[in-house]
Structure 1
């Protein structure tokens, strides 16, 4: 998900066919208009290469249940889903994997089909945060199949479970590897502002003028970031975090489920995982938050078989199939019932991710296209603050500029 989050792309698609524009804007709300087109439908499905073998038998089951529909599955990087779709929507897959943060860009470009058939069941069966991530401007588009958040990995020989519950005890009793001073700090530590009560693009992440980091709470966050430079329990770590964990230079670090196998290899029997700790930014302990990413399937707005395509997206994301994907690929389900399954609850990483996926522990990554203008300025403020390049009396002016830059739209 980290890679996905950083691959936010700019807009720039021109619609050339009136029919395509209508399909994109209207979302094909009339099944009667499309049913005839779905007889003997041939559907193309894009999934990440690591998921192809997992989804092949699921596709075969779908075809058995819908004998007039043929599905061709091909590998395609979900992190660049919108870029691949924009190249030639008519030649792209009918159904595709995507990270939820690309949703706003896809909607604005008119390349994703509204979920007009399965909205009620998805809202009923998916977690609240997953539904929020699949929705843009009040309309549901995506089909959630997984949730992803950063968590805390630690060496249980060096740190007890009680030690990792707060930043203070974590960094006083052990050494935490964290990236404050290099590119990528934005993804990890921007949610500190929301931990302290500020907002990024408003309450729902869709208000272009809704960022309010330039206040006393935001200044508190920067003061705390600067203090970590002088905290002996914090070791600047980025690409070297895993090696530092393995050689004992650090005892814990913040990462996501994508690091599970590498951390297990580095720590062996001392492997342990937990949700983020609390942190005191100046007003007492608050929960340190992370960005939440939601994995979606989407339907191409230019599909010739929207009924079949929507049916496939819904089938691939049902409870049973989300559990299959969890068992095969480790993707934590977005389905509420699937999250209570013993196979999921017995997995410590999944348990930590599910805890982090609630509103008290995470913020759904905003879907606004303007996020593309946020990452660079946010990194600069966090990196320069940590490295002592910004005087304390310049914190508020720097946040004023960050908010101004954040409010830019590349439409």
Structure 2
């Protein structure tokens, strides 16, 4: 799901998160422990899966019915924009699902609206997943979902133009200095888009919202601290020295990067797994790996997590939680990957050949070890546009980094205040 400046338009992982610790309190009177179920067994449970992703559920539904005697019905609803909207309508009307799937950056909003219920599962279930993916599913100390897949930007290169991917950004910079000429470029990235720029800035000490023991503080922004300014200046260097073309600024930047890369004019790019198939279909022999290190630090790219959630309107929350646990088992997560190619964050699958031998999946898995989940609190919606505008003025030389970022933070704070 390609991320633009909209928060709603946004892998096996081990560590690195804006909210690195797991839930501190995931108890609820409406929930169940996976140690056992005591509620009356329903005749069926209803699952809403994303578009063109439900085929794997045929087998899993049959397995669940065989084990528990409960029918699992499923339907497809577009996840990024329609899933939450439909739940708002169907849930209160009593005709909604028991389980929905959502991108983690929507959790804060749907929890605030009372649309999903906290989960209470055994620690052994939580330990099934990377810490950062669990952190992404946690809001105000409570766990609201179990992860099904993750995605994050990685380093993608044309194997005909770059034989070996560089280990460091310093090496990549030197390669680009020699390669960039006659309309060809060594490396391109959408550094004026905060989704991509975050990785550079965070690696130098920036953060979006301060993480206080797993809770994000919307009143404490680190988007204009020393690390943020250093990161913005670093990214501007690529533009100022002519290593990036002028056309990769703004809303059309992504299509420009993709066009140049598929024309064989770019040796490498920073992009997400959504780009793998289009690049391959264009006839480019691509390689994928984790991002090169910067100043000895791994680049802390943003990570998006998709998870399974129990509807707050479900009358069968106990059994719905059992089904979520069942769907995200290592066995079923692996099966889902073979059917959808969405990389699961189950730690046990890190070295499984089905992922380890898949170059794209391995790249996402490796980079996700260093990635940070996008903030999942509602205030995040106010970040994207001001930061994008600020970065554009910096990389085009229209404003210095400190002034631009100070103005962006002021605008974000004002917008957050106005929404209270």
TM over 0.5: yes
Alignment partners' CA distance in 1, 2:225 and 2:319: 50
Cα pair distance change 1:27/1:107, threshold 3 Å: farther
1:21 alignment partner in structure 2: none
Structure 1 residue runs of 5 or longer lacking an equivalent are 10-23
Answer yes or no: is the 8 Å Cα contact 1:38–1:306 preserved in 2: no
Alignment partners' CA distance in 1, 2:166 and 2:302: 23
How many angstroms does 1:163 deviate by? Answer: 3.0
1:271 alignment partner in structure 2: 286
Answer yes or no: is the 8 Å Cα contact 1:134–1:143 preserved in 2: yes
1:234 alignment partner in structure 2: 244
Per mean C-alpha deviation after superposition, the further-off stretch among 386-395 and 145-154 is 386-395
1:103 aligns with 2:125: no
1:191 alignment partner in structure 2: 199
1:377 is aligned, of 380, 386, 391, to 386
Answer yes or no: is the 8 Å Cα contact 1:125–1:337 preserved in 2: yes
1:225 alignment partner in structure 2: 235
How many angstroms does 1:86 deviate by? Answer: 1.8
How many angstroms does 1:172 deviate by? Answer: 2.5
SS of the residue 1:295 aligns to:
strand
How many angstroms does 1:370 deviate by? Answer: 0.3
Residues 266-299 of structure 1, C-alpha deviations (whole Å, 9 max, x = no match): 344x3211211233xxxx4533221011120001
Answer yes or no: is the 8 Å Cα contact 1:105–1:368 preserved in 2: yes
Alignment partners' CA distance in 2, 1:28 and 1:5: 36
1:387 alignment partner in structure 2: 396
1:259 aligns with 2:270: no
2:137 alignment partner in structure 1: 134
Alignment partners' CA distance in 1, 2:119 and 2:166: 45
Answer yes or no: is the 8 Å Cα contact 2:238–2:244 preserved in 1: yes
Alignment partners' CA distance in 1, 2:167 and 2:300: 15
SS of the residue 2:282 aligns to:
helix
Per mean C-alpha deviation after superposition, the further-off stretch among 153-162 and 165-174 is 165-174
Answer yes or no: is the 8 Å Cα contact 1:41–1:305 preserved in 2: no
Aligned length: 384
1:112 aligns with 2:116: yes
More helix by share: 1
SS of the residue 1:301 aligns to:
coil
Alignment partners' CA distance in 2, 1:30 and 1:178: 45
User: TM-score, normalising length from structure 2?
Assistant: 0.83
2:51 alignment partner in structure 1: 49
2:209 alignment partner in structure 1: 201
Cα pair distance change 1:92/1:408, threshold 3 Å: farther
Answer yes or no: is the 8 Å Cα contact 2:140–2:215 preserved in 1: no
Alignment partners' CA distance in 2, 1:318 and 1:155: 36
Structure 2 residue runs of 5 or longer lacking an equivalent are 10-25, 180-185
1:324 is aligned, of 304, 317, 335, to 335
SS of the residue 1:239 aligns to:
helix
Residues 232-255 of structure 1, C-alpha deviations (whole Å, 9 max, x = no match): 332324113232112122121121
1:16 alignment partner in structure 2: none
What's the C-alpha RMSD, in Å, of the aligned pairs?
Answer: 2.7
2:15 alignment partner in structure 1: none
1:366 alignment partner in structure 2: 375
Cα pair distance change 1:347/1:380, threshold 3 Å: same
SS of the residue 1:321 aligns to:
helix
Alignment partners' CA distance in 2, 1:4 and 1:106: 21
How many angstroms does 1:324 deviate by? Answer: 0.8
Alignment partners' CA distance in 2, 1:170 and 1:74: 49
Answer yes or no: is the 8 Å Cα contact 1:3–1:79 preserved in 2: no
